[in-house]
Structure 1
Amino acid sequence: MNAPGSLALRAGVAIASGLLLSAAFEPVALPVLLPFGIAGLGWACSGLSVRRAALVGWLFGIAFYFTHIAWMRTSIGPDAWFGLATAESLFYGLTGAAVPVIRTLPAWPVWMAAVWTMIEGIRSTWPFSGMPWGRLSFAAIDTPVAPAVAYLGMTGLSFALALLGFGLVWAFERRPGEGRERWPRLALPVGVLAVLTIPAVAPYPVDEDGSVDVAAVQGNVPGPGNDILFDPRGVTANHVEATVSLADAVAAGRATQPDLVLWPENSTAVDPFDDSEVNEGIRTAVSAIGVPVLVGGIVSAGPDHVLNQGIVWDPITGPGERYTKQHPVPYGEYIPFRDIWDPKFGQLSLISRDMKSGSRTTPLPVDGALIGDAICFDVAYDDVLDEQVRNGAQMLAVQTSNASFIFTHQIEQQFAITRMRALEAGRWLVVASTNGRSGVIDAAGEVVASADPRTTAVIQQRVGLSETLTPAIRMGDWPARLFTLVSLLGLVLGTLAYRRRRQDAGFPTEPAPAEPAPSPSTNEAPVA
């Protein structure tokens, strides 16, 4: 059953492959390494028992995820980094365990790519709200395969990239008695790559039927820059001042009148309805610019809960429609099972009230435009912007803070994910950050304008509106459902074949019952 290569060698290959996959993402951003990282995992786990393959897969996951979210160690804390990275690495152990089972099936790379995609989907949504960071599709921006996301969606693109990696193993491995005839198997990875690059030549056509002038305000964060709570009213004052300055520039003819203004998440980290100073500041800014401002505010929801909201603040009618963040961060914005365990130490002691999840799936109407809104980590989840686009969103907005991560590479990773979302939806997207990476992204995922981190800036751009639905948006959750069904079928069939193969090779699946010890004969019995 065992292919050539000691367990130590395979462990080393798995660790190196995990590091290769990590390097495909920001900050290294060499996506050409991605299929080789997947191929390394496929080879390292092949020919092993399920238990050994699970160990090798776990080592791959440790190498990948500990480096991929290394930004959490310095921004949130080493304990949170270690806990989350360890939990996520276990999912790659499950992936590794599936390899020897799935390899018993014909065309195994297809089945294995489906298993990868299913497990990637599970860990992106569970436990609690999961952790989507590290999905294969998120590494594809600025590559010839990125436009394929408009046809395949994030899930479909992850499947195709996994198939490309596992296809390399299938193409180059040598079987006993096999010579040059193995080379035709190269048709699989070459064919997958060819299909993925077709949309780069023929991207999905997106029609624009209007435009709006949008101004994104990046007010900056006082003090060290990585702590919104250092001076929360100062953060709001910065955004007020920048918006009033924009209004002055419009009045002087140095800038055009925007149709709407976008403030970031935590631009009001103090409840704008309870704090008179913050409330008055918002009213001053909105009145000065004379158009709706989409304000990012932390709003009280009783003594035990808060809401993270995008609030449409009209210069005449005041606060109106709202979007509430759907995916608060566990142990970052709320404590799961607080009634059982209420920690009072470290960063966790700062979470005095739990953030509740929103459920809005319809876009925000703002001055004639329908805006699909997402707040910070929401952008990494498939059920936020995609649903709003299906319900009529003509453009997208991402309100984010990123202050906690300002000195890390998390900012580049999130911005890459955001660009892929614009490309997937076929929508212009405007990002407003307190001091991170604000920018305007067109429907092709290209950055049209951006502001430097840790600066005060206003980005103003005319943004296209569209009602075209890409195939990815039309399909919705169906690719994930399909790959889950294929994976479960493959695991059942593969398990049956795996058990038969081990029995035929002399490896019983269960230990044989021990022979009973013989009873002493009469003449062997001890004399009383």
Structure 2
Amino acid sequence: MVVPVVFLFSLKGARPDQALVLGGAFGLALYGGTLNWFAEIFGLMAVLLFFILALFPTIFAVVMGTLGKRKLSPWTFASLVAVLWTGIEFYRCEWFTLRFPWITTGTALPPGYLTPILGVYGVTFAATLGAGLVVFERSTRIAGVAVLTALAATCYLPRKAPTTTDLRIAAVQGETLPFRAYLQLSDEVEGGADAFVWPEYALPYDLRKHPAQLEQVRELLVRHGATFLVVGSRTDHDDGSWSNTSLIAGRDGILGTHDKNRPVHFFDEGVPGTETPAWATPLGRIATPICFDNDYSRIPLEAVRNGAELFLVPSMDAEHWTARQHLQHAELVRHRAAETGRWYVVASSSGLTQVVDPTGARIDSLPLFDPGVMMTEVATTERLTIFSRGGHLFGPATAIAAAVILVGTLFLGRADRKKSPGSDSTEATKASETHA
């Protein structure tokens, strides 16, 4: 909530040309500072990515500079601020070609009471509405503080945690280990398990084409009384292409698959999937979206609307991407769990392997980078949150409204430019007549 206040305060009274510079500087500082680990993944291309991301706060700033010259009521102006900021953020995260849902106002705060109603974009709207009321007019400052205080309360006051768990899930953490090493880590589980989850790319080949390993998986399940194993594997298609796939391998064969819908930008991760199924298993209807799939609101939402009662997620974050990247990534799962009201168990290559309850609270996790196995207890649920029933439409609605504001601002700016030369000419004529 601090960042919007500081940014909006810097824009107060700024002309559009000044706002252009301020918005660009803010964007580069924000994304360059929080996402400096981009350099570990993309090298020099990270600089270009920072400039692309900085375009969004720059557009916001220029619009604010144009609207700031209009005589608008404080509440109208603050509402325009909130709609525009939220809509641009939603577009950048969910609809833009290089969609990237990290470092947003809504995900900077912990999941709270508002998250299962309007999702992270509802939180973004409340935070920027409060910031606008605080910054632009003294008459609304108290109201703005009240909005921000109420939002903080919804995020930080404790929520009632689920009390019933009846499934034991073992999540294995390990980066680029051989098949036998994942088996050995799984065998460290004591007291039995209902299911296992291995990381994304744990088996960078199509497990279905290796009957001997499928048999070893079946033996693992029998030894521990487990029903199935969720594992990051791949699908080799007849045309020579492939897909990054999570498999639900049961004692009698494959119970279900999921092809990754959202490959990581600029990575070769095969043919993207187009569906987010929820598979019927003896433990309930299970969804297994992979890693980056869970960074977006839409994909887990689709899984829940397809009947998903529990999420078991293979994930991959390379160790050299740094601990900051791992921890930032891990936060997004908390918001997806709170939006959908579902348990999440994530098995990550080098972390963060974690379990998150339906309120978005992290119940347990493994230390970063160290191979190991986490045993946790979870439950399935069929209850739908308000977000799943219709609250998810709030984000797209703000994006459409923001587009209308942008178009309107373009016409206002054009009118101002046409008016200015005439105004200057009139003033010059008056000055000439006075001098004469």
Instruction: Decide: shared fold, TM above 0.5.
Output: yes
Question: Which residue number corresponds to residue 197 of structure 2?
Answer: 262
Task: Give RMSD over aligned pairs.
Answer: 3.0
TM-score by length of 1: 0.72
TM-score by length of 2: 0.86
Query: Aligned pair 1:432/2:367, yes or no?
Result: no
Taking a change above 3 Å as real, the CA distance of residues 275 and 259 of structure 1, as seen in their structure-2 partners, is closer
Taking a change above 3 Å as real, the CA distance of residues 441 and 162 of structure 1, as seen in their structure-2 partners, is same
Question: Which residue number corresponds to residue 118 of structure 1?
Answer: 87
Taking a change above 3 Å as real, the CA distance of residues 281 and 434 of structure 1, as seen in their structure-2 partners, is farther
Matches of 1:310 and 1:217, distance apart in 2: 14
Point out the more displaced range, 373-382 or 363-372.
363-372
- Trace 1:371-450 onto structure 2 (pairs within 5 A): 371-405=286-320, 407-450=322-365
- Trace 1:36-435 onto structure 2 (pairs within 5 A): 36-74=2-40, 76-103=41-68, 104=70, 105-106=72-73, 107-141=76-110, 146-171=112-137, 182=138, 184-197=139-152, 199=154, 211-218=166-173, 220-221=174-175, 228=176, 234-246=177-189, 249=190, 255=191, 257-275=192-210, 279=214, 281-290=216-225, 291-302=227-238, 305-315=241-251, 317-333=252-268, 355-405=270-320, 407-435=322-350
Bigger-Rg structure (1/2): 1
Matches of 2:214 and 2:228, distance apart in 1: 15
Query: Aligned pair 1:480/2:395, yes or no?
Result: yes
**Percent identity of equivalent pairs:** 24
Q: Residues 150 and 204 of structure 1 are in contact (CA less than 8 Å); yes or no, is this contact kept in structure 2?
A: no
Taking a change above 3 Å as real, the CA distance of residues 203 and 365 of structure 1, as seen in their structure-2 partners, is farther
Deviations 1:280-308 (A, max 9, x none): 55444345434211111133235653211
Q: Residues 422 and 429 of structure 1 are in contact (CA less than 8 Å); yes or no, is this contact kept in structure 2?
A: yes
Taking a change above 3 Å as real, the CA distance of residues 92 and 301 of structure 1, as seen in their structure-2 partners, is farther
Question: Which residue number corresponds to residue 369 of structure 2?
Answer: 454
Taking a change above 3 Å as real, the CA distance of residues 302 and 50 of structure 1, as seen in their structure-2 partners, is farther
The structure with the greater share of residues assigned to helix is 2
Taking a change above 3 Å as real, the CA distance of residues 127 and 235 of structure 1, as seen in their structure-2 partners, is farther
| SS of the residue 1:43 aligns to | helix
What is the one-letter code of the residue matched to 1:236? Answer: F
Matches of 2:2 and 2:162, distance apart in 1: 37
Deviation at 1:78, TM superposition (A): 2.0
Deviation at 1:273, TM superposition (A): 3.2
Taking a change above 3 Å as real, the CA distance of residues 490 and 191 of structure 1, as seen in their structure-2 partners, is farther
Taking a change above 3 Å as real, the CA distance of residues 476 and 311 of structure 1, as seen in their structure-2 partners, is farther
Deviation at 1:158, TM superposition (A): 1.3
Unaligned runs of 5+ in 1: 1-34, 172-181, 222-227, 229-233, 250-254, 335-354, 513-528
What is the one-letter code of the residue matched to 1:97? Answer: V
Deviations 1:135-156 (A, max 9, x none): 2111111xxx733212221111
Deviation at 1:498, TM superposition (A): 5.2
Matches of 1:124 and 1:96, distance apart in 2: 18
| SS of the residue 2:208 aligns to | coil
Point out the more displaced range, 272-281 or 373-382.
272-281
Deviation at 1:312, TM superposition (A): 0.8
Question: Which residue number corresponds to residue 16 of structure 1?
Answer: none
